[in-house]
Structure 1
Amino acid sequence: MTQSFSFDATDLNIVEQLRLNGRANNQQIAEKLGLTATTVSTRIKRMEDANQLRVVAVSDFSAHGFNVLLRISVEVDGRPASDVAHELADLPEVFAVHIVTGRYDIDMLVALHDFEDLAHFLLDRLSEIHGIRSLTPAIVVDICSYQFDVAPIEAKE
């Protein structure tokens, strides 16, 4: 069960320190903020328990040999979009799936090792999923912004 939670200035400062260095331990964060390690630990645990904070590792696509990124818009027919979306999300090449409004029902982001994988993914892998009426793939040619700390967090006064 999610607890009720409000961020204060100390929580925001702890989150900021984790954004700057996700490997920082509680003692290092405490020293930078003038707190005790116990206070930092307690607050991080409270934020995690309230599902307001999750510390994760992020890796670079190209460092792992993924050199092709695609955005694919999917139009669904004859099946609930949520069912198709969940099946798409199970594909290892797919790293994000969103049910959206507008002309398409689903948008997804796909990482492939190289262009030789493109035809196999589009024609073979996706053809196994029933309910896809049409696909509109777009190759990502440049990444202008790639942020994971985008959730706006405000302290309660």
Structure 2
Amino acid sequence: MKNDFTFDETDRLIVAELRKNGRATNQQIAERLGLTATTVSSRIRRMEDANQLRVVAVSDFAAHGYDVLMQLAIEVDSRPASEVAHELAQFPEVFAVHIVTGRYDIDALLVLHDFTDMTHFVLDQLSSIRGIRKITPSIAVDILRYKFDVAPIETRD
């Protein structure tokens, strides 16, 4: 089924308001944009139904006691990378898993409370996944940008 959804300027303005404050009510957005709450509600529902918008809450890792952000580059052998990635995605510490091209097969991002958790995660949890040939970890020493609203909303001509 082809998705014929296109954003118009009103949709863009509603999304911009949600990016500023994802907890804003439809009425608050409507007042800021000179619309009715019903219009805002139906527009948001239409964008969600077309899989063009998803309103989610994003947690701050440090606020929840996670002080280590780690990236894992993983090489897989003797097994499809997708199977390994699905198993890896089941660990609560892992918040992003990507099957990638290039030198590695999988890229994963995870958080740990502290460095003592790293030993348990690598030796106990990761070692339980069959097919991992090599892991190259990288630890974030500083976070310069952490944004989830980076996907541009534009129409293609």
TM bracket (short chain):
over 0.9
Query: Counterpart of 1:143 in 2: which secondary structure?
Result: coil
Query: Counterpart of 1:96 in 2: which secondary structure?
Result: strand
Q: Deviations over 1:109-147 (max 9, x none)?
A: 010011110111111110000000000001110111111
- Following superposition, the deviation at residue 155 of structure 1 comes to 4.9
Query: Counterpart of 1:12 in 2: which secondary structure?
Result: helix
- Following superposition, the deviation at residue 4 of structure 1 comes to 2.3
1:136 maps to a residue whose letter is: T
User: What is the CA–CA distance in structure 2 between the aligned matches of 1:154 and 1:133, rounded to whole Å?
Assistant: 41
| 1:27 alignment counterpart | 27
1:141 maps to a residue whose letter is: V
2:66 maps to a residue whose letter is: F
- The correspondence of residues 16-95 of structure 1 with structure 2, limited to 5 A, is 16-95=16-95
User: Residues 146 and 2 of structure 1: is their aligned pair in 2 closer, same or farther, counting only changes over 3 Å?
Assistant: farther
Q: Deviations over 1:69-123 (max 9, x none)?
A: 1000000000000000000001111000000011100000010011110111111
| 1:114 alignment counterpart | 114
| 1:153 alignment counterpart | 153
TM-score scaled by length of structure 1 = 0.96
Structure 2, gaps ≥5 residues long? none
User: Residues 134 and 115 of structure 1: is their aligned pair in 2 closer, same or farther, counting only changes over 3 Å?
Assistant: same
User: What is the CA–CA distance in structure 1 between the aligned matches of 2:4 and 2:114, rounded to whole Å?
Assistant: 46
TM-score scaled by length of structure 2 = 0.96
- Greater length-normalized contact order (CA 8 Å, ≥ 6 residues apart): 1
- Following superposition, the deviation at residue 2 of structure 1 comes to 7.3
Structure 1 moving runs of 4+ over 4 Å: none
The number of residue pairs the alignment matches comes to 157
Q: Deviations over 1:41-93 (max 9, x none)?
A: 11000000001001011110010010111000000000000000000001111
The share of aligned pairs that are identical, in percent, is 71
User: What is the CA–CA distance in structure 1 between the aligned matches of 2:2 and 2:27, rounded to whole Å?
Assistant: 27
Query: Counterpart of 1:27 in 2: which secondary structure?
Result: helix
1:62 maps to a residue whose letter is: A
Asked whether the equivalents of residues 12 and 155 of structure 1 are also in contact (C-alpha less than 8 Å), the reply is no
User: What is the CA–CA distance in structure 1 between the aligned matches of 2:114 and 2:84, rounded to whole Å?
Assistant: 25
The alignment's C-alpha RMSD in Å is 1.4
2:123 maps to a residue whose letter is: L
